[in-house]
Chains A and B, each alone.
Chain A
């Protein structure tokens, strides 16, 4: 939008966040190095300038932030967390991944609840705040480089308010077999709490790891999670990044995941939106080395009056990179979904192979989907396709099952499950896969009418 002024109907909300920064935000990370304090100052300044994105911003045109701005969300600060029993946490977690875990409660790291097997040997996993206090040089080098606070006001808020998060570094050639499991739990009895988890994953050349972020809430209060994850995947490194958002149905969830891939690097990303009343996920990946490979998978489920927006962007900077994208959505009730997938092929990125698919299943007449697959291509020797489908279940498939004695509602339930399950079946970790399959079964209706 050239010259277009930002919608300024959000001045109240902006003012509240600015004053929250003065009173609360500044307080955390007392012993943080100077560069970090500057970074946070700059981020809040960028946010003060831009305000919340409005309908005039093309990237946010389909996302109505009004419900998020109506009530102010104040960061849940250290010490005011409601006590959560360890058993309660374990009940929400994926049991098989429990051995390699970091646990965050209301945005702050809980070392007592966390344990990482196989630290050392070039593997560094820890809370971001303590890593920053230790003066880890990689942090200054990479933090907020990919997620530009100037470009995304919500990422700016995260940068300013983030109390803690995860830092993972895998040194050259090192690898960790077990996935690193990150549990972000919000537990608050009152409405209006916010957490801004901030994660940085750095893979040195030829390193290999799998990271699973799991966002849950042990409460039924309106809270706001605003996460940012940056993934730096160096030459030849390989990363599987799974993001499961399964918060309560009063929650607001905004996330931005930014990745950068070097030569022959490989990133497989899963973005699973199961919960929250309002969810917006941005995934942006830049392929900055030749022959890099990026796979983005996503599932979003809408029930009731929920809103789920997924925005992905793949930037082919260097030649001969490959990207594959599959996002699937199931929308029922009065839910509303948005999918925007952008593929940019820069002039230098010859021999690009990019494929993007978005399928959306609509289960009710009140559900709404807006899908916008976009290709921007500036190189000629490329293979780029995108496809989008929106519709209901295939009647012939339903009939096929009915003809075999399966009642119509059951048949529809099975097909709906299979539709989403196809994406999950690509997950490498067996335990995570079966856990998520079970979750899927619980969330999706077993029988669907008509």
Chain B
């Protein structure tokens, strides 16, 4: 509470000294111009022959995907049920985002890198792919040694390299691609798939359930503390390929796992649809920490192109004392539509949501969280930092629901917005629904700009404009960044720097 208060005060102070827009000196404007003009740093496309399904979506495509992956019958039936349900649904229109209608028949629903023999080591991985990762700054070997991170690289929807598997296997941790898990652990998949996000949940979740190509699966058995941060790098590559990952993480009683998801994508002209589903299940005393850095192609400075990121993420704290923590840094995508939520079912369970969402140029983000308190003494914390620059529109939309049984439930929500420039927008739509008298919910929100006094203070001490802005914005987001694992925290700060610096207003 105290912390929140401070941040509120800071935010309020920052905006208390009004400064006219055109007061800035010319030199800093040039820097801004340079930075704003900066092209997407990681834009390119890799020539890898893709194994495509025909364009369009119908039952045959669903069957094709399932067959291509050699799935057991129950998976096919599940996909078909999801597809049939999807046909009855309408695309939601309530989000505060605008985009041209999507023609779901004008996309490829399956694209896989050419099948290779089973890979035992990195040497066997397509060198082109390795080079792609090098460009991304994620050399697999180095990461293996230096960071001790097991990397499950999902490249165009199919895992081609999985490392550290044996080490994890020793502990009994199952970590790998979803397709593998369907073959090797069908019982686990059957038991948990769709139990947190049913295919009936929403339009995009239904679509995903019908056509999902691959994703990651992780199961941490009872009492095991996963010895390393698990991480997956997603890339979208083949042209016109909607990506539909599906991630399922189960932490059994007393288990702990920290999962990192991060991505950059090549430059594209056409909008690409991305509708992922992530499901987390935490049993008694288990803890799952899920961190995301998302930097997909946001479109160019005129708002052309960019990824549509319509994601359904939800975690279920099934057991007592369980905990699920979402941390996200969203800097990319033309449109982000994403509400990682927690269902706090077990008594004393804890849900957390820490988010930094940045929109620049013509980006639109409608993001937030849902905390559903069912059990006694459940607690949730929401810290959301929205930064809008250029023509960006940033919306926080959150639901905190205290149901009848949620005796002594607590929620604290803080959402702060920062506006950089006079053409952007910041919006807050929290929903607080309380059905228990002992429950307490607190919500605070503030909106401010970067104080010209803060910039002046930095410049006076010899810190350049762009560094000053970066410092101030990073300070604004500090509460979220410190929740990120170390490797990600560094990457996240760099990302903010690149995406934002030079849009001072």
Contact = CB atoms under 8 A, between A and B. Distances in A.
A388 interface: yes
Interface string B416-445: 010111111111111111111111111111
B447 A384 contact: yes
Given A365-B404, A391-B441, A392-B440, A377 B417 contact: yes
Contacts of A384: 445-447
B439 A390 contact: yes
For the complex of A and B, 9 pairs with smallest distance between CB atoms? A391-B440, A380-B419, A384-B447, A375-B428, A388-B443, A362-B437, A390-B441, A385-B446, A378-B425
Given A368-B435, A383-B15, A385-B8, A377 B430 contact: no
A388 B400 CA distance: 12
A354 to B, nearest CB: 9
A386 B417 CA distance: 12
Contacts of B421: 380
- Most chain B beta carbons < 10 A, residue from A376, A380, A389, A392: A380
A386 B449 contact: no
A372 B429 contact: yes
A409 interface: no
B447 A375 contact: yes
A350 B428 contact: no
A22 interface: no
Contacts of B26: none
Given A369-B434, A374-B428, A378-B424, 15 more contacts: A2-B93, A350-B422, A362-B437, A363-B437, A365-B437, A368-B435, A370-B434, A373-B430, A375-B445, A377-B417, A379-B419, A387-B444, A388-B442, A391-B441, A392-B437
B430 A388 contact: yes
B94 interface: yes
Interface size class of B (residues with CB under 8 A): 35 or more
Interface size class of A (residues with CB under 8 A): 35 or more
A53 B404 CA distance: 28
Interface in B375-429: 402, 404, 417, 419-429
B490 interface: no
B18 interface: yes
A383 B416 CA distance: 11
Contacts of B242: none
B16 interface: yes
Interface of B: 8, 12, 15-16, 18-19, 21, 93-94, 402, 404, 417, 419-449, 505
13 contacts: A364-B437, A371-B432, A373-B445, A375-B426, A376-B428, A382-B15, A382-B448, A382-B449, A385-B445, A386-B428, A388-B430, A390-B442, A392-B437
B437 A383 contact: no
A368 B12 contact: no
Interface string A386-424: 111111100000000000000000000000000000000
A1 interface: yes
Nearest to B436: A365
Given A58-B94, A372-B429, A378-B425, A389 B435 contact: no
B447 A382 contact: yes
Nearest to A376: B427
Nearest to A342: B429
Contacts of B449: 380-382
A374 B417 CA distance: 13
Given A347-B423, A391-B439, A392-B437, A381 B19 contact: yes
Interface string A354-369: 0000001011110111
Contacts of B93: 1-4
A350 B443 CA distance: 25
Contact of A390 (B420, B424, B434): B434
A122 B54 CA distance: 78
A374 B427 contact: yes
Given A2-B93, A383-B12, A389 B442 contact: yes
Contacts of B402: 390
B388 to A, nearest CB: 8
